[in-house]
Structure 1
Amino acid sequence: MIVLIIQLLILILVILSTLLVIGIPVTLASPGQWEKSKNLIYTSIGIWVGLIVITTIINSFII
């Protein structure tokens, strides 16, 4: 059960990482988009960091 949870967390992490790797440079390169999208980007980065921490904590229970 715990392995399934970790696999889902990692899948979400990979998808979010891919979106951030594509989305942040596009946002920074587009004129005027940074002001509109910075809250969304900061929120996404916070969720990404949270996923890393949660995955690490749950993974520590598996030996």
Structure 2
Amino acid sequence: MTIVVQLLVLTFIILSTVLVVGIPVTLASPGQWEKSKNLIYASIGIWVGLVIITGIINSFIV
């Protein structure tokens, strides 16, 4: 069970890094927001889901 939480946290860290770099670049590039806003919203949804799932699974570890 601990390995599952560690993998979730690793995925969370990688996705957070991608979002921290990707969102400002997308917003600064002319015309890119319209092309990639659905991808950004989906990524943010996955990020929030990872936070919730990691918290729930972590509550089962004693």
TM-score band, normalised by shorter chain: over 0.9
* CA root-mean-square deviation: 0.3
Unaligned ranges ≥5, structure 2: none
Q: How many angstroms does 1:62 deviate by? A: 1.0
Structure 1 unaligned blocks of 5 or more: none
Determine the structure 1 residue equivalent to 2:17: 18
2:57, 2:34 → 1: CA distance? 36
**Structure 1 moving runs of 4+ over 3 Å:** none
How many equivalent residue pairs?
62
User: What residue number does 1:53 align with?
Assistant: 52
Identity of aligned residues (%): 74
TM-score, length basis structure 2? 0.99
Q: What is residue 32 of structure 2 aligned with on the other side? A: 33
1:8-47 deviation digits (Å, cap 9, x = unpaired): 0000000000000000000000000000000000000000
